[in-house]
Amino acid sequence: MQHSTTPPDPLKQLSGVGVLGLLTLTAPVIGSIALFWVMGATELGPWLKSHGILAMIAYAAVFALLTGCALMPTYAMSALGGFAFGATLGTPAALAGLVGGAALGYLLGGKASGDRVRHVVDSEPRWKAVHDALLGNAAQPKARRWWRTLGFIALLRFPPNCPFSFTNLLLSSLRVPFGAYLLGTLTGMAPRTALAAIIGAGVQQMTKDQLSVPTPWLVAGIVSAVAVVMIIGSIAQRALARITQKGA
């Protein structure tokens, strides 16, 4: 006597990953509220600045740890870098922490999700078609797929509303090449990371100078930079939408 078997429900297979994804979206928001409260209630910025290069190294390490574990958003930590060290030193320190956080997030996300996401994608023809359109398929040369993946990740990371921790989980679950993942993350997120550091430095400057004469020019520069990032992010989102539609 034969018993009929029903194929596993893809959503049930991803239920555990879904809960983890929800945590990566909510925990950084809570972390940012706590960080900005600490920045306002304590002398954290001046304390970091007074400790020189060692503080910058410690800041980058903590940046990597908190963002890689989905406990803090990158924009909050980047703003802290600019607030503590200024835009010139805070930006490279924030970028170092960003790369470290991306690497840690990839390792933790890959272990937490296992092969469940990749198996579900491979078992669903429509999802696999989109996946291949975005990242390439095995029939293409390896080098071409690597660069295609890098470009896709850079486009995905560029928009300011792209959640860092959730994207780490998604990309690590899909087992994208680690090198393309890191370089694409750095390429896509460098502008908004620098912008957050500049804003953090601007807040420090406005506090120190008590909204003196140069402040309007500083504010105008920040607003212009935000507008540029938003416009280019919108272009990146439209490019991603076109790529996805081709694979659908």
pLDDT of residue 163: 85
pLDDT of residue 57: 94
The model's pTM is: 0.74
pLDDT of residue 142: 82
Kind and range of the H or E element at 71?
A: none
pLDDT of residue 96: 97
pLDDT of residue 101: 97
Residue 248: pLDDT band with limits 50, 70, 90: low
Q: Which residue has the higher pLDDT, 25 or 87?
A: 87
pLDDT of residue 161: 78
Share of the chain above pLDDT 70, in %: 63
Above 60 in pLDDT, residue 17? no
- The torsion angles phi and psi of 107, rounded to 5 degrees, stand at -65, -45
Chain centroid, CA 21 distance in Å: 14
* Mean pLDDT rounded to a whole number for the chain: 76
Above 70 in pLDDT, residue 119? no
Identify which of 120, 91, 99 has the alpha carbon closest to the alpha carbon of residue 199.
91
User: Cβ(63)–Cβ(98) under 8 Å?
Assistant: yes
Residue 102: pLDDT band with limits 50, 70, 90: very high
Q: Which residue has the higher pLDDT, 73 or 139?
A: 73
Most confident of 30-44, 87-101, 151-165, 206-220: 87-101
Residue pLDDT, tens place only, 154-195: 888 888 778 898 889 888 888 889 999 999 999 999 999 998
| Cβ-based neighbours of 201, under 8 Å, separated by 6 or more | 82, 83, 86, 87, 90
Ranking 10-14, 106-110, 227-231 by mean pLDDT, the lowest is 10-14
pLDDT of residue 11: 45
| Cβ-based neighbours of 213, under 8 Å, separated by 6 or more | none
**9 CB burial (10 A radius; 0-12, 13-18, 19+):** exposed
pLDDT of residue 217: 43
Share of the chain above pLDDT 90, in %: 27
User: Cβ(39)–Cβ(45) under 8 Å?
Assistant: yes
